[in-house]
Amino acid sequence: MSSVNNTAYKFLSLFANSEDEEFHLRTFPEQEDGGYAKKFVHTLDELKKDISKWSSHAIKRDGTPEKYPTYYKSYNNSKKQGFYFVVNFGGSTDGEITRIRAFYIDVDFAKEKYPVNSEEEAKKLAAELKETGRYKKVQVNTTKSGNYYVTARFTKKEILLAKNEFLEKHSEEFKDALIVETYSGFHIYWLVSDCSIALFEKIEEYLILKFNSDPQVKNLSRVLRVPEFVHQKYEDPFQIRVIQWTERRFTVDEFTSELKVNLQWVKEEKAKQKLSQTKGYGKKLVKEVIDHTGLERTITEVEFKGRSAEIEFVYPKPPEEKVTFAEAIQEIKRRPISDFVSKPDMSIMPGQKKAKICCPFHDDSSPSAEVFVGDKGTYLFHCHACQINTKDVINLFIVKHHYGYRKAVEKLAAMIGLKVVKTEWEQNLRDDYDDNRYFLEQDLEVMFPNLYSYIAPYGRISYLRYLNDKGSVNILSKEFSYEDKNVYFAAISYIKKELNKSGTRTVHNTVCLLLLLGFFKRVPEEDVPARFKKNAEIKKLDIQLELKEQGMLGKRRAQYVRNINFYIIQNWADMAFEMEQLAKELKEKGFTVKHHLNKTGLAKLMGEEVANRVFPDDRQVRQEFNKLEEKIKEIVDVEISKVNYCRIDDILTRQIRYQIEQSNGKKKLVKATKKEKEDIFNRALPQILEGKYEVIKVRNKNQKKEYGYIKDDNKEIKVVVPKK
């Protein structure tokens, strides 16, 4: 890979044999006002520069160049043109390609399309799809011939989940692949050194079937997107990026062996399929207009049944054994799916590890699903053709009946004669949650006035009720515990939504205040169960996507979203007296949410141990803050030693310079702003006073003159004086 600091150049260099190798580049309008498509040709060496300087005269249809050059990055941004390259070598049409550079697939998780028979049916389906909450945009459309169809574009969250699942499922096949992420999915390349034209087309057919990728992306002169340029097709721009690099070039023998390419299987699959099934769609010769240019393509029909899926579960048995919730999960996953499902037949023959079946979640004339034993011994269901993807029997039951996870486990356990009971550990936890409810309603206000004074305002008790109740319904097993309490997470965005709060900052501050007071506790990252971490990462990305939809400010905030925090709920009655003493100490020290509910403010007011408990990250008090605090403290001491007082307004208006040490060891003189000085007094006043000074407020004009304040106004001043 080249050392040039240009991702697009590095990417293209992987496909080339030399610096003078030509690349055919294309731009295509992605929105109606985007102009027209253009063609460019460059040697790799000509692209060995900053991407903002990539430019050339476009080649017109008559073969002559345009008069003025096109700057590609600017054209991509201002004209909303997608930027592509022809993957293989030789030209820009199939007939011109002379050398295969790579095998490739294009997987797209953004949209579904549903042909229907009438406008009424289309509107009904569109309404049903909108209600699911899985789609960002649902539209009713018509083809040129007047046929109706519905397009549904998934939310970013749904696309992200599909992307993660796809990469995880095919990690072995993709270990030496070059992977480019787009808004909708991925472009995946396997670089190759010696493939014939005829064999290329057959291998592409195999890859399309194997990975359920776009069936159109298989021609010799296929163009795909170039990293560092922006995908402008939708309202949310997305910068194309490489998420996995590789320099490996396969020989055809290596590739067909490692990817288990079976061309006979492709023939058999095509022969068996009377209806082509791509992503759960049964093919129907319906034309659709794909963009404003009037181009058409064949789309496919799908019936994803969901609730009415043709899957039936067995009846429950009389209970023969009592088990814990965790034991029930373990036993259910150990059993074959056929122990729970009566229709269709999901049994696996003795000595076999999988069985092909017709998928009950979509119209399936030839078996496109299979039941198999996973790596961990769990029996799994997977459909290669529809959106149901891979499920164990618990999730199959949830998809069919829409139960919550615990209820689904209890129902499935009953089918094999097991009754789920609470363990002593679970019961003790439930007793804690009951104690907490009683504490909130009966004891808090009467017995703990300092604590109540922080909890009563702004509906903070509603947070405690919500978090306590959330913990009580998220009990799994002692395996998922910390300090003998069950672990769960509650993201700020979800608390905000559940409690119908308007401000994210307010919710964040309230959660931090409850952590400070000791109502609940963050779990150290190293003690969080691995399964929880994975789910939390998805939630974190979901929050980032939501923020990015809120404009430039949201995009900036999205960059600083930290990992989702995990919590345990304390028994508040047991902790109440310690929490009351802490609340009293906070009052005495002048704690305010505005000035002290941050890492620096808490560290200065209550010490680093408390600050790290509430904000368990690697942030520290900045050197500039400490140095300015020392300087102001020095000024206060000097003034009081001279005249026995020091006015705060005088320090705020005084010019103060202080030294800091730079990374290279040199000293730097810094001039403090008024805001920085105010920040010191707001957050570090106890350290400045040192217990030997106090602050008094003076409004009387004569008294103010005694402290050197000569302005004739009614302004109140604050004065630091020796403590009496």
Choose among 568, 427, 423: nearest CA to 489.
568
**What whole-number distance in Å separates Cα of residue 453 and Cα of residue 462?**
15
Using an 8 Å Cβ cutoff, are 629 and 648 in contact?
no
Q: Which amino acid is at 199?
A: L
Tokens of 17: 């044999």
Distance CA 583, CA 187 (A): 56
Residues 539 and 561 sit within 8 Å (Cβ to Cβ):
no
Distances (CA, A) of 514 to 431, 444, 462: 21, 14, 12
Question: Residue 90 CB: number of other CB atoms within 10 A?
Answer: 18
Which residues on neighbouring strands pair with residue 370, listed in sequence order?
356, 382
Closest to 282 in 3D by CA, of 364, 358, 206, 366: 364
Higher pLDDT, 60 or 638: 638
Q: Are 278 and 32 in contact (CB under 8 A)?
A: no
Task: Report how far residue 577's alpha carbon sits from residue 517's, in angstroms, rounded to the nearest whole number.
Answer: 11
Q: Residue 673 carries which DSSP code? A: P
Identify the three-state secondary structure at position 630. Answer: helix
Among 317, 312, 358, CA closest to 338: 312
pLDDT recorded at residue 151: 87
- Closest to 151 in 3D by CA, of 182, 128, 134, 126: 126
Considering 31-45, 144-158, 328-342, the range whose residues carry the highest mean pLDDT is 328-342
Of 238 and 544, the one with more pLDDT: 238
Helix (H, G, I), strand (E, B) or coil at 100: coil
- Measured in whole angstroms, how far is the alpha carbon of residue 269 from the centre of its chain? 37
- Phi, psi (degrees; rounded to nearest 5) at 194: -150, 65
Q: Give the pLDDT score at 583.
A: 94
What value does the mean pLDDT take over residues 6-11? 91
Q: Bigger pLDDT: 652 or 493?
A: 652
Whole-angstrom distance, CA of residue 260 vs CA of residue 311: 32
Name every residue whose Cβ is closer than 8 Å to that of residue 170 and which is 6 or more positions away in sequence: 211
Where are any strands of DSSP class E within 337-457? Answer: 341-343, 354-357, 369-373, 379-383, 390-391, 418-420
| pLDDT at 463 (0 to 100) | 87
- Taking only the tens place, the pLDDT of each residue in 647-705 is 999 999 999 998 888 888 888 898 999 999 998 888 888 888 888 999 999 999 899 99
438 is written with which tokens?
């009683």
For 61-104, the DSSP string reads TTSPBPSS-EEHHHHHHHS-EEEEEESSBS-SSGGG--B--EEE
How confident is the model at residue 96, as a pLDDT? 92
Estimate the share of the chain in helix, then strand, then coil, as percent rounded to the nearest 5: 40, 25, 35
Q: What is the pTM of this model?
A: 0.46
Could you identify the residue written with the tokens 């003076």? 698
pLDDT in tens, 520-551: 888 777 777 676 666 666 666 766 776 666 66
Separation of alpha carbons 39 and 52, rounded Å: 18
